[in-house]
Amino acid sequence: MVRNPLTEEQRDRGRALGQVLRAARGPRSAAAVAHEAGLSLDTLRKIERGAIAAPAFFTVAALARVLGLDLVALARDLMPDESADGQTPLAG
């Protein structure tokens, strides 16, 4: 299966996700958060810097759980609104 390249908007959203996760991690070490979420440290670092711009849903869900973030609010904050691109965000 061939994946379509990400758009600049999707890459920007990935970087924004990384910033939110890094801020939510606060003083906790990346290694501790990665371990608790069941991820490799390398994967967490790539997500935090936006190198993985579209991480898998369950990866984001695990990080949100570990960091005490509301997954619905996180999605709402990072998804474009329907007026911007004509698409309706997923209902929760």
Q: Please state the length of the chain.
A: 92
Domain range for 45: 8-79
Query: Is 60 part of a structural domain of the chain?
Result: yes
Question: At residue 82, does pLDDT exceed 80?
Answer: no
Look up the CATH number of the domain holding residue 45: 1.10.260.40
Q: How many domains does the chain have?
A: 1
Task: In whole angstroms, give the CA distance from residue 15 to residue 47.
Answer: 8
For residue 51, the model assigns a pLDDT of 94
Question: At residue 8, does pLDDT exceed 90?
Answer: yes
Task: In whole angstroms, give the CA distance from residue 55 to residue 52.
Answer: 6
Question: At residue 91, does pLDDT exceed 50?
Answer: no
Which amino acid does the sequence have at 18?
Answer: G
Query: Is 69 part of a structural domain of the chain?
Result: yes
Task: In whole angstroms, give the CA distance from residue 53 to residue 27.
Answer: 23
Task: Find the DSSP H helices in 1-92.
Answer: 8-25, 30-37, 41-49, 57-67, 71-78, 82-85
Q: Read off the pLDDT of residues 12-30 as tens digits, 9 standing for 90 and up.
A: 999 999 999 999 999 999 9
Q: Read off the pLDDT of residues 34-45 as tens digits, 9 standing for 90 and up.
A: 999 999 999 999
For residue 74, the model assigns a pLDDT of 93
Q: Read off the pLDDT of residues 47-65 as tens digits, 9 standing for 90 and up.
A: 999 999 999 999 999 999 9
Query: Is 37 part of a structural domain of the chain?
Result: yes
For residue 87, the model assigns a pLDDT of 52
